[in-house]
Structure formats: structure tokens, C-alpha cells
Amino acid sequence: MGIKIHPTAEVQTSQIGEGTLIWQNCVVLAKAIIGCNCNINFNVFIENDVIIGDNVTIKPGVQIWDGLRIGNNVFIGPNATFTNDLVPRSKHYPESFAVTNILEGASIGANATIIAGITIGKYAMIGAGSVITKDVPPFTLWYGNPAKHKGYITRGGKILSLNLVCKEGKEYKLINNEPVLND
């Protein structure tokens, strides 16, 4: 299967898993780690202190800054924005950048902003244009500015109300923070 890197991309790292595609005009710095079967779309920038899991999709116009840890099967929508310094100043750098964790299966909508140092839980979904200012529990749906908890989401992507009911009227319950159909 191999790794495919577009000729216009500048990729300095050799730590890229099999099956990964890196599209036009991307820049990937030397210490970044990228897993297998990832899809790094057009015009993405990836810094050094970054770990990206397997089967991750990063849509165009995203910058992945030092301190980001992205789990397996994560989706990052176009122009999503991450920060890594809570008090940025020109030419003044912190001793270390804040670590932000995007856990397995999470989805981040287009143009969402993720503030430094938080964790987005497994399979959580962040709506387009949202501003995330605090940790997001697993299997929850958040949107708005600032984003608020608006519901739940199943592993398979079914959206549930805050009362754990889907639009078809089926009721769910939480088992280990994961919504499952209430039999």
C-alpha cells in the first residue's frame, strides 16, 4: 500500500505509518509522528511535538501545533483551530506547550476552536463553529460559543437528546459513559 506524499508537500518526518496520504501544500515537521491509513488533506501544517494515531482524517486548512495528541479514528473538519499556549506573546515561548488530547473516535466540526490543555473524550462530537473551553466527556455532543453539552452520540454516530432518546423515540442508557439501547 505504501505512503503517498504529494510532490508539493514538505514532509521532514520519517515516522509515518503505512497507507497514509499527505496531500498538496502540507508541511510536516521532523519530529511529528503520524499513524497508519491517515488522510492529511490539502494545506495542513503539523508541528514537531505531535502524535497522530491510525485512521485519522484531517481536512484542509488545519494546523496541528506542538502538544496535540490525536487518537485513532479521529475526524478533524476543515479549518478547525487548535491553540497550545493560553498566554501567547510574540517572541516569548513557554517552557512547554499545553497538551491537548483528542481521544479515539472523536469528531471535530469545521471551524471549531479548541482551547489548549483540554481533553475531548472518546467518540465525542464537536459541532461546526463551536468554541471548546473545557474538557468534553466521552460520547457527548457539544456545540455553540462557548460550546455547551447538547446531547449524546453513539459509537455509530446516532445523535441522542440530553435525556438519551434518539429522534425515532428509542431510549438509551449509559453504561461506562457509553450510550447503549435500553432493552
* pLDDT value at 1 more than 90: no
Secondary structure element (H or E) that encloses residue 144, with its range: strand 140-144
Distance in angstroms (rounded) separating the CA atoms of residues 114 and 80: 8
What is the per-residue pLDDT for 47? 98
Q: How does pLDDT run across 7-63, given as a tens digit for each residue?
A: 999 999 999 999 999 999 999 999 999 999 999 999 999 999 999 999 999 999 999
pLDDT band at residue 183 using 50, 70 and 90 as cut-offs = confident
Query: Would you list the DSSP string of 87-142?
Result: S-BTTB--SSPPPEEE-TT-EE-TT-EE-TT-EEPTT-EE-TT-EE-S-B-TTEEE
Distance in angstroms (rounded) separating the CA atoms of residues 98 and 138: 21
Q: What is the DSSP letter of 48?
A: S
Q: How does pLDDT run across 146-181, given as a tens digit for each residue?
A: 999 999 999 999 999 999 999 999 999 999 999 999
**Are 79 and 112 a contacting pair, CB within 8 Å?**
no
What is the per-residue pLDDT for 136? 98
* pLDDT value at 65 more than 90: yes
- Residues facing 148 on adjacent strands: 143
| Cut 0.75: pTM above it | yes
What are 6's three cell numbers? Answer: 504529494
* Mean of pLDDT values over 107-117: 98
